[in-house]
Structure 1
Amino acid sequence: MMKNIGLLFFGIIILMSCRQNTSQEKKGDAVETDIPSEQTVGIPEAWINKRVTSAERRLKSTDAGRVVWNAMEAHGGLKKWYSNGALSFRFNYQPLDGKTQRDSYQTIDTWRNRARHTSTSDSTARYGWTGETAWVKATDSTAFDYDSRFCALKPFYFLGQPFVLDGDGVNLELLPPTTYKNETQEVVKVTFDPGTGDAPDDYY
């Protein structure tokens, strides 16, 4: 008799557990949940060294590239940039044309170009980039009333210069030097090959 009661009690617990999981799954069906893992896997030093050596060789092959490489070295070096791991910061941007404000806490995987944005007003609202696709997790469809795919890595690209200029599809052109605050500064123009990122027509 006691054995039967024990089995019945165990069965009720299993049933309740299944019902709870089903309820949570149904609740989650309303949003996209293609979210990269919270775990950050360390990058082997050998991989970093190989990537840095390749970038150094490529950049030093042109005058413009040497300027960019020297700028990287002056700010700690490309190896340290990748070795430091993920980069976190807040980006609060109000477009001058009155469009929706972009205000989020961001964590960027600098090695894999993955991004996670968390709304500053609702910690459950997030969006990002997996390295291949964009994703959004928000119960309010208007939480990110702008092109979240485009904005996923845009702030990082501004913040990450000159280190982000070591990739494929980046073209560097040395321009005449200019004077700023009574000092001569080297100038490099940056353009991109067609199909590079979401804004290949941009230039710096």
Structure 2
Amino acid sequence: MKKITLVVLGLLFIVACNNTEKKAETPENKKEESKVVTKKYPKNLQKVFDAHGGIDTWNKAQTLVYEMVKPDNTEKHITDLHSRKTRLEGKGFTIGYDGKDVWLAQKDSTAFRSNARFYHNLYFYFYAMPFVLGDDGITYEEEKSLSYDGVLYPGYKISYGENVGDSPEDNYFIYYNPETYKMEWLAYTVTYFNGKPSTKRGYIRYGDWQKINGVVLPKVLTWFTTDEEGNVKEPRNSVEFSNVSLTEKTMEASTYARPTDGVIVPKGN
């Protein structure tokens, strides 16, 4: 589901000197050549980015680290935000993506029983919303508002171009508070391991915000149940995120490298 293998988030560099006649190199020309144009997003999605600290602030960061607290396990996740290399350290297992392959190392066959390729960046994309929605290869469409507890949350549908990541058929639906513009809900569809996409949506509520190096990120994600019509009903389970750091420091390549006991996980496994 490495959706957005997608690289330098949100910035396009342009060179302003296209004249056939070479200009003299002056301070004014140099300044013009270094001009940066920020990628354009739908107006209200831009407001969502701004409410969370700004996508330009996010783009300056290099590494995101957090601990994800589960009832039976605490995992440490490290992600390079530009290459999307990852390392997950859990109870008896380590999963990584070195820029080419997803790999799994575990003490025994029972340490990790899920799909490592599907899992290696799953929670990163949930946690790093809304900023990962600024990646390349994305199409934005206005979505019908989500109604919950008497509030209408406007939203956008997020879809992907062909061959973007492992599951380009997956879709996200972001919903924001109409007053604060903070992201409060995420709906998503998942492509099954047999390659068939699903239209059934899962729902996550975002809240208990914390400011990390100028960026507003959630402390808790809560999954909700739905009824037969797909309406959001009740909280089902929550995941807490702690010891979060967002820095401009790049980790050593060895952080993401496959260890000697690591096994490459092929697509579909």
Amino acid aligned to 1:158: F
Report the counterpart of residue 57 of structure 1 in structure 2. 39
Q: Which runs of 5+ in 2 are unaligned?
A: 1-7, 14-35, 173-269
Deviation at residue 118 of structure 1 after TM alignment: 0.4
Amino acid aligned to 1:109: D
Report the counterpart of residue 54 of structure 2 in structure 1. 77
Amino acid aligned to 2:113: D
1:87 and 2:71 aligned: no
CA distance in 1, matches of 2:69, 2:88: 12
State the structure with bigger RCO (CA 8 A, min sep 6), 1 or 2: 2
CA distance in 1, matches of 2:69, 2:117: 17
Report the counterpart of residue 43 of structure 2 in structure 1. 66
Deviation at residue 167 of structure 1 after TM alignment: 1.8
Contact 1:67/1:188 (<8 A) preserved: no
CA distance in 2, matches of 1:103, 1:118: 9
1:200 and 2:171 aligned: no
Contact 1:106/1:116 (<8 A) preserved: yes
Gap change, CA 1:156 and 1:130, over 3 Å in 2: same
Contact 2:79/2:87 (<8 A) preserved: yes
Deviation at residue 49 of structure 1 after TM alignment: 8.7
Amino acid aligned to 1:87: L
CA distance in 2, matches of 1:136, 1:50: 33
Deviation at residue 150 of structure 1 after TM alignment: 1.3
Report the counterpart of residue 109 of structure 1 in structure 2. 80
- Root-mean-square deviation over aligned CA pairs: 3.0
CA distance in 1, matches of 2:169, 2:60: 31
Gap change, CA 1:102 and 1:165, over 3 Å in 2: farther
Q: Whose strand fraction is larger, Structure 1's or Structure 2's?
A: 2
Gap change, CA 1:51 and 1:118, over 3 Å in 2: farther
- Given the two structures, how large is their TM-score scaled by the length of structure 2? 0.45
Contact 1:48/1:83 (<8 A) preserved: no
Report the counterpart of residue 143 of structure 1 in structure 2. 111
- Partner of 1:90: helix, strand, or coil? strand
Report the counterpart of residue 174 of structure 1 in structure 2. 142
Q: Which runs of 5+ in 1 are unaligned?
A: 1-46, 60-64, 95-100
Deviation at residue 161 of structure 1 after TM alignment: 1.0
What is the percent sequence identity of the aligned residues? 24
Larger radius of gyration between Structure 1 and Structure 2: 1
CA distance in 2, matches of 1:184, 1:138: 45
Amino acid aligned to 1:113: R
1:158 and 2:121 aligned: no
- Partner of 1:58: helix, strand, or coil? coil
Contact 2:97/2:103 (<8 A) preserved: yes
Length, aligned pairs only: 143
Deviation at residue 117 of structure 1 after TM alignment: 0.3
Amino acid aligned to 1:80: T
CA distance in 2, matches of 1:128, 1:159: 17
